[in-house]
Amino acid sequence: MRLSMILASAAIGAGLIAGCEREDATTGTVAPAGGTASSGTTGTASTQSATGAVAGAATDAQQAATDDTAEAKAAAGDIAGSAKATTDQAAGQANQAVGDATAATTAKAQELIDQATKYVKENKLDLAEKAITQLEGMKPQLPQNFHSKIDGLRTMFNNVKQGQGLTEGLKGLPGTK
């Protein structure tokens, strides 16, 4: 926008300078619009002066465009840097939240395993069934080492429920003999 204004001003100025003089066809002299005649060299000097003014305006416009481009590049770099920092921060917070959620899920699973084992030992099979079913629903969110614990707990529960007794049922739970 700034470049356009400078170029337009230069064009208008050149037109005013060139339009204020007219050449007298009979004598070959250039006369200003007011009617006073002058020699042909004065007209050439005025034209050269106008051309110099236009060239100077064009140079100024080009420099202004270069300055604007540099400012725009710097601003874009600042914005990109800020966006990257914000993205990195958000990713860090998301990773922290996932880690916290995983820790909470594994803690809850261990609590349910302990409860279900206790309920089986106390022959509270309804409560044990509820805890084991909840654990089986959590399996996809748990680390692999919990899967074998849950499977062993289900085996122990099924053995006790079928009347094989607590001692036989405990054989399905990892870590028991």
Does the structure show a pLDDT above 60 at 42?
no
Rounded to an integer, the average pLDDT of 40-49 is: 58
Task: List the structure tokens of 128.
Answer: 């044990």
Pairwise CA distance, residues 156 & 172, whole Å = 5
Give pLDDT, residue 131: 93
Q: What is the Cα 148 distance to its own chain's centre?
A: 41
Question: Angle formed by the axes of helices 2-19 and 40-121, to 10°?
Answer: 170
CA-to-CA distance for 172 and 150, rounded, in angstroms?
A: 10
| 48-52, 54-58, 73-77, 138-142: least confidently modelled range | 48-52
Of residues 165, 171, 127, the one with CA closest to residue 153? 171
Q: Which one-letter amino acid corresponds to residue 32? A: P
pLDDT higher at 36 or 129: 129
Contacts of residue 85, Cβ cutoff 8 Å, sequence gap at least 6:
none
> What's the pLDDT score for residue 111?
93
* Contact present, 160 and 169 (Cβ < 8 Å): yes
Q: pTM of the full predicted structure? A: 0.44
Q: Is 58 left (phi over 0), alpha (psi -120 to 50) or beta?
A: alpha
Q: What distance in Å separates the CA atoms of residue 13 and residue 27, rounded to the nearest whole number?
A: 28
What is the per-residue pLDDT for 15?
62
- List Cα–Cα distances, 76 to 2, 3, 151, in angstroms: 19, 20, 56
For 105, the token pair is 């899920």
Find the mean pLDDT for residues 113-125: 89
